[in-house]
Amino acid sequence: MSGSGQHFLQIPGPSQVPQRILGAMGLQVIDHRGPEFQKLGHEVLEGCRFAFKTSGPVLIYPASGTGAWEAAIVNTLSPGDRVLMVETGHFATLWCRMATRLGLEIEFIPGDWRHGVDASEIEARLAEDRAQRFKAVMVVHNETSTGVTSDVAAVRRAIDAAGHPALLMVDTISSLGSIDYRHEAWGVDVTVSCSQKGLMLPPGLGFNAVSEKALAASRANAMRRSYWDWQEMLGPNASGFFPYTPATNLLYGLREALRLLREEGLDNAFARHRRLAAATRAAVTAWGLEILCLDPTQYSPVLTAVLMPDGHDADAFRRVVLERFDMSLGAGLAKLQGRVFRIGHLGACNALTLMGALAGVELGLAAAGVPHRAGGLAAALAVLKEADAEGRAAEREDSSHAA
């Protein structure tokens, strides 16, 4: 039944790549030591500061988010350092595993994969650490495996309330460009991200936004590194260059992605993601299915993870949707495998794209014999209509004030 037409990629990353970005990436490779590249380098490095909301440096690596995780660790911490982390889901667990392999001592606050970070628990653990052995607090902003967003500003307040000097390190791999994030205002020391989600690029670029405190740590820590060394990167970056052959065509795409975000406006992009997420949750509720995230204040604007009814396998449902309707939905990861499917509504997604995706989900539920109620599409449409009416009313009010 899938036949012709566009494939719907509704996983929570990689997200669809807009045609403008694909076109930009098709430009010819240039001399990465020449003046044309220097201009490109300056533009993308400055644009990244805009995306992370920081006046400090942002380092760009030819890497996945996993590489950016490693760069954050090896530049700031030493083997044997004690780190506080929180089990919010699969990706927090993977970052913890990496930290352990790199010789860090981890205190991992357990979680149920249905809630975000509890800032009060972080404050309590740090307050008990009178010897100040914790060198860093590492959290995931938006847990891609669960559809739960944590309050990073609250984590910073907790660290400050405990009077603790630990670095704050945050994974924004699925939130940058999609959810309000403020590296500098929230006092984050290292922010980790990558290219293939809110930035609407293919995989291949990893980012570290860093504070002065983090840079000072990088000059004093004892972890060995070469490729990931911030100091090696920062020198050439000051002139718009990189210490090794860069991923030029991805940087072309990054420049275009940052232009798209500037044109829309970050706050408008964040509001769009919130609208699409609200419409998705309305559909899921109308279908009589359960959202994995249990705290409405922590609902993710990037994706919605949906629990399958007892006796029904999420992977079998996803297979039906792919084969019958040519749409990819996100799988349940690790202990959620087969129990949830994830609807991505991030990046270049808009209201019409979302409605097509939700129609595919509803068709798939029927085709796979998954118990559900009718009315999901109508519920989502009502949310989008209301948001559109509110937006037009706000525009009229702005126009009257301007007049």
Which residues does the annotation place in the binding site for substrate?
342
3-state class (DSSP) for residue 105 = strand
C-alpha atoms less than 13 angstroms from C-alpha of 104 in its C-beta half-sphere: 31
Rounded-to-integer distance, Cα 70 and Cα 228, Å: 8
- How many helices (H) and strands (E) the chain has is answered by 13, 14
Buried b (16+ CB within 10 A) or exposed e, 10-45: bbbbbbbbbeebeebbeeeeeebeeeebeebbebbb
Instruction: Report whether 25 contacts 250 (CB < 8 A).
Output: yes
Write the CA distances from 267 to 112, 181, 258, 261, 272, integer angstroms: 31, 10, 14, 10, 9
Q: How many residues in total does the chain contain?
A: 403
Distance CA 244, CA 236 (A): 9
How far apart CA 7 and CA 23 sit, in angstroms, is: 19
Taking CB atoms within 8 Å and a gap of at least 24, the contacts of 375-379 are 375/286, 375/287, 376/282, 376/283, 376/284, 376/286, 376/287, 377/283, 378/286, 379/279, 379/282, 379/283, 379/285, 379/286
Query: Residue 140 phi/psi, 5° resolution?
Result: -100, 125
Asked if 69 contacts 98 with a C-beta cutoff of 8 angstroms, the reply is yes
Q: Report the binding-site residues.
A: 342
- The single residue listed with the structure tokens 């981890």 is 106
Q: Which two tokens stand for residue 100?
A: 């352990």
